[in-house]
Amino acid sequence: MLDRVAAAAARDAGGIDAALLDDFLDAVWRAVAAGRRLPASRVRGYRRVGEDAAAGGVALRALLDLYLSAAWRLWRQLPVVQAAAEDPQAVVTAGEVLLRATDDAVASLTEGYQLARRQLVRREESDRREFVDDLLAGTADVTGLLRRAQRFALDLSGPHAVLVVRAAEPFAEGTPAVTTVERRLQGSAADADALVATKDGALVVVFAAPDRDAVAEVSSRVREALGRPDGGRWRAGVGRRGSGPGAVVSSYDEARRALDLGVRLRLEDPVADASDLLVFEVLLRDRAAARDLVESVLAPLRDVRGGAEPYLATIETYFDTGGNATETARRLHLSVRAVTYRLARVRRLTGVDATRAQDRFGLQAAVLAARALGWSTEPPG
């Protein structure tokens, strides 16, 4: 009879294993017969059942449904209930014992289940952090990484890219900002193959990038999740696409460099794409040569009143407008006369004429290198 009750309760609970009832039905039957509570040792045993259920992936709701269904199905089978007309008071006592026994068992089950789930979550978080560290460091064995990546729904054999975000407030696992980014990525092209994590206070998104459109979509959704970057509240960099764990490491490094360049270059777009900044990568590949170029061309501008920055901004804008002094003046909120004065002074101090085609390439390369190096903000000497 107890086996039939257990099987019916298991069906009520969605078909979970009736063995999770352990000795509950027999223990309650004996407790009602004796008119006593469940022994403490038995109640503690249900905590272990809760732990096992959590480790086995059983939902807590289904587990509790199993026990509650077993309790009400057992009630009608109890001898004291079947003989209720002979001793009504005994039925009341039996009901109290059964309800108390069920309450004790369910409380112990829930405690064990929740403790086990917390331990599982902590273990998963630890495994996740270790995996992210190994993946981005590029020091772990490739075969092992590919196998571990499957646990986190990543298929690293396909093209992936990495986006890195830094903000005034460091990112931490489980914070609202991280959760918001994860939710915004749901339903995107990268949703089925994206990993959102934190590292060294930055937010890191490793995502499937089969094409440039996927990169653009993820960048757009991160913007939406983080809101307007007013006052430089946050900035991001995204690396180029590639396949395999090694490509993820390269994309991560490129994303961090792109982020730093975005800050130095004061890019209007808060998300700096490494693919759009390759010219700076070329300039900085030999930093000593880049610095030598800057110093040999632009060093005299450091000695003028106000420093080199106003002149660099004028040269940049002049080139951006295709050599249009009027448009340059409008963008910089200057008079045309002020613009031509600055350009003339650059020519006089450096010997390079921004208005001459043969001088433009070298001057523009020097200005770009200066921005990439942060040269104008460095102290003289």
| 322-342 tens-digit pLDDT | 889 999 999 999 999 999 999
42/73 same-domain check? yes
Strand 234-238 with 159-167, pairing = antiparallel
Query: What's the structural domain count of the chain?
Result: 3
pLDDT value at position 190?
Answer: 53
- 323 three-class SS: coil
Where residue 366 sits, what CATH number does that domain have? 1.10.10.2840
Residue 130 domain-assigned?
no
245/351 same-domain check? no
Place of tokens 């690396």: 239
Strand 271-273 with 159-167, pairing = unpaired
**Per-residue pLDDT reduced to its tens digit, 96-109:** 999 999 999 999 99
**Residue 234, strand partner residues:** 167
**Per-residue pLDDT reduced to its tens digit, 267-303:** 888 999 998 888 777 777 788 888 888 888 888 988 8
pLDDT band at 188 (very low <50, low <70, confident <90, very high): low
171/216 same-domain check? yes
9/105 same-domain check? yes
Nearest to 319 by CA among 344, 343, 291: 343
Residue 13 domain-assigned?
yes
Backbone angles phi, psi at 375, to 5 degrees: -65, -40
Residue 138 domain-assigned?
no
- Of the three residues 280, 295, 315, the one that is the final residue of a domain is 280
Element (DSSP H or E) covering residue 161: strand 159-167
pLDDT value at position 294?
Answer: 87
351/337 same-domain check? yes
- Asked whether the predicted pLDDT for residue 67 surpasses 70, the reply is yes
Give how far Cα 39 sits from Cα of 67, 98, 104, 194, 378, Å: 17, 13, 10, 50, 76
Sign (positive or negative) of CA dihedral 80, 82, 87, 90: positive
pLDDT value at position 236?
Answer: 95
Residue 48 domain-assigned?
yes
Reading the block at residue 297, the tokens are 């061309």
**Per-residue pLDDT reduced to its tens digit, 222-240:** 999 998 887 778 999 999 9
- Distant-in-sequence, close-in-space partners of 248: CB < 8 Å, separation ≥ 6: 135, 136, 156, 160, 162, 206, 242
- Asked whether the predicted pLDDT for residue 150 surpasses 60, the reply is yes
pTM beyond cutoff 0.85: no
pLDDT band at 166 (very low <50, low <70, confident <90, very high): very high
In terms of C-beta distances under 8 Å and separation of at least 24 residues, what long-range contacts does 27-31 make, across chains too? 27/101, 28/71, 28/74, 28/97, 28/98, 28/101, 28/102, 29/2, 29/74, 29/78, 31/97, 31/98, 31/101
324/354 same-domain check? yes
297/273 same-domain check? no
pLDDT value at position 192?
Answer: 52
pLDDT value at position 165?
Answer: 95
- Asked whether the predicted pLDDT for residue 191 surpasses 70, the reply is no
The residue range of the domain holding 302 is 286-377
**Residue 272, strand partner residues:** 237
